[in-house]
Structure 1
Amino acid sequence: MGQRANLVIVKQDGYDLYYNHWCANTLPCELFWGPEHAISFIQAQKKVEQTDWLDDIWAEGGAVIDEAKKLLLFYGGEEEQSNIPFRRLFLEVMQKVWGEWEINWAHEGIVDLAEYVGVPRERVISGNDDDLAYINLRPPSAMNWIDTIASIKFEDEETLIFPLDGGIEGYLLHGPELLQNCNKSFGYKQFHMEEWGSDFPTSGFHIDTKNKQIEIWYADGFSNIVQRLQKKWPDWKVLDHCDRYETQSEILKDRLQFQTRHRSEMLSEMKALLLRSPKNPLDIISSLVTRLQKDGKEVNVNPRAYMHGNYCVPEATREEIIRFAFS
């Protein structure tokens, strides 16, 4: 259990590395309130050795704050991590709070953070390619289970769209074998996401078989994705568009349409998220341990589970910042 994150503060002579076991899924809301509060939040966490970096399997969020360059690089959250339109609006509102600071999303997750402070990407890459669950392009069994939008331009110039569950890795890491197992009867000439579900897809890819080119986009952080795909697709060109899902719409023109959500609806959801009273996970652990012990059970808790520094921006301050940011 946990939502593990590495947090970094850049110093003149290097950097300080911190660890929090529980904050990855709430990290955008922890950092939203401006550089002063963000720095205080990070410094309230457990400072660890520079050898204690998480890898891309365990790190579910993280941040680098470079005060000298006025730069924030981060990733994490729930809706912010998986929903690209929501994330873009969140960063837009957050930028107003942070003023002249540069705010960047870490598309490769922990790899981007490590490389920013000079740590080789190899140190935080697990090299695990086990997620190969999909070899055909069959649509999901439920209409609202779409995670990935795939499109293929075949040798005969026909282009088909395939709605899929699961992420791009599970498909593309099969290499060209994926094309050999492609059943065209599963494809659509046109596809409108709103007819299938309200959840925005988390990734997509377009394969041009004639020109041997693959283009990808994704919400979640994929470390070393281009290098990994290049090994599986030798002699092919891989273009990484990060979270720019519009590139696939441009390729397919009006044949692919994504959902649209009203800005006001997302802002309302965002405001409620930011005003939500924060919970201390250590209180939850303590309550669980007490209950189990009362039942006569022996309980051992991993010491890392207690690595959470509680820092809370006062409610009045949060409300004032929100009034400014959403005005």
Structure 2
Amino acid sequence: MGARAQYVVVANGAWQRYYSHWAAERVVDDLLPGPAAATRCFRANREIDEWLDDVWCEGAALVDHDRRILLWFAFADSWADHIAARAVLALTWPGWDVRFAHDGMGDLTHHLGLGRSLTRAPGWFETFEPSGFAATESTEPSSVVSLRLPDGSVRAWGSDWEQPIDHLAAGPGLIDLLVASPSTTPALTDMPYGGVHFDPQARTVSLWAVQTVAGIHDWPLPRWENWSLDFRGDDHTQQTRLLPTDFPLPQPPLTAALRRLGDGPATPPPRQRPAPCRRHGCAQSGGHCPCGQPRSADTARTGRSHSGRTVRRAYGARCAGRNGLTTYMVQGWYCALLGLNPHDVTFYSVLPVLRTRRRRLPERGAGRSWRAVSRRSSPRRC
């Protein structure tokens, strides 16, 4: 289990690699604050001397301070999420060349002059012989496939194949299957993750995607010799112009995607009112109970008050400096030991979480809520 991410920081002619076991889903969130904050964030992770491959690495970023280039890739929940991330990064990284690494790890190693095949074994690109092609009836297909017929007209299908490049792995034989397949896809309600257009007369393949298409720069791919590739990056407009009028691509607004970026996982929880004292059931405006002990939201959850920084989320301390890094390492070690995802765990301090979590595990199936278990496992003090 995990969501592995790799980071590369280039500065003063040297580069270092860092690794996170759970941060692939938040690569964009770590990049949003800008170059300085992202660099501190990446350097707070474990430094390693090896490369992840395209199978295990689900997100990555390369920050080149010497050439002011940012390369990154991560899975986006939708087309709008990817476009919104690109737009915001262009604003928070002014003066930088911000690029999406469509070739995955190949783009990162190529940028460092190591070639694209460093993390790929010979013959890694697997092809297959499709037995047929059935257009999806979903209004939200993963990809859109279009084909120019001999008479010059264009037909289009929605496809549920996982990635756009899977249509290239099927080889040119897929074209004959497309011709024999009825176009049954209804009008789309959301943008796909990518699209492929075949023009057999011009022997040209056009492809666009908002996700990684590993191997796209190793053209020609197996069985596509004597064909030319028109790779459009994440620009869908070329295929949009070619599609028939009864098969338009929708243009969803970016408002919701931009709002999700603003409400990222690193956003701290709202301030809560002082919790009542467990012994007396009181909560005065000054945060003190009749026994004279100060009360706070931290004490309500952990049963103890402490000075210093309160770590609200496991990853909230990643960029907080040396003390925050120590706390993050302890919390990350404990989550790895129990097989927990740090994104699903809220930390208020180290020791209370260890005590609470250890007592929670045997009682998960007993029908008790986590709040009840936390109250019972915390020391009773005002």
Alignment of 1:1-327 (within 5 A): 1-49=1-49, 52-79=50-77, 83-126=78-121, 127-130=123-126, 132=128, 134-140=130-136, 143-144=138-139, 146-166=141-161, 167-187=163-183, 192-194=187-189, 198=190, 200-227=191-218, 230-252=221-243, 254-273=245-264, 276-277=267-268, 278-280=313-315, 282=332, 284-288=335-339
Q: Distance in 2 between matches of 1:292 and 1:111?
A: 45
How far 1:215 moved relative to its partner? 0.7
Give 1 or 2: higher helix fraction. Answer: 1
Q: Distance in 2 between matches of 1:292 and 1:133?
A: 53
Q: Distance in 2 between matches of 1:157 and 1:19?
A: 50
What SS does the aligned partner of 1:168 have? coil
How far 1:235 moved relative to its partner? 1.6
How far 1:264 moved relative to its partner? 2.5
Q: Distance in 2 between matches of 1:103 and 1:216?
A: 21
Q: Distance in 1 between matches of 2:42 and 2:91?
A: 21
Please tell me whether the aligned partners of residues 156 and 244 of structure 2 are also in contact (alpha carbons under 8 angstroms). Answer: no
What SS does the aligned partner of 1:9 have? strand
* Structure 2: gaps of 5 or more residues: 269-312, 316-330, 341-356, 363-382
How far 1:273 moved relative to its partner? 2.4
**Identity, % of aligned positions:** 21
Q: Classify 1:263/1:145 alpha carbon distance in 2 versus 1 (closer, same or farther; 3 Å).
A: closer
TM-score where L is the length of structure 2: 0.66
What SS does the aligned partner of 2:214 have? coil
What SS does the aligned partner of 1:63 have? strand
* Structure 1: gaps of 5 or more residues: 296-327
Q: Classify 1:134/1:169 alpha carbon distance in 2 versus 1 (closer, same or farther; 3 Å).
A: farther
Residues matched between the structures, number: 284
> Greater CA radius of gyration, 1 or 2?
2
TM-score where L is the length of structure 1: 0.77
Q: Distance in 2 between matches of 1:230 and 1:253?
A: 28
Q: Distance in 2 between matches of 1:223 and 1:158?
A: 31
What SS does the aligned partner of 2:117 have? helix
RMSD of Structure 2 on Structure 1 (CA): 2.8
Structure with higher RCO (Cα < 8 A, 6+ apart): 1
How far 1:236 moved relative to its partner? 1.5
Q: Distance in 2 between matches of 1:265 and 1:108?
A: 28
How far 1:124 moved relative to its partner? 1.8
Q: Classify 1:218/1:135 alpha carbon distance in 2 versus 1 (closer, same or farther; 3 Å).
A: farther
Please tell me whether the aligned partners of residues 149 and 164 of structure 1 are also in contact (alpha carbons under 8 angstroms). Answer: yes
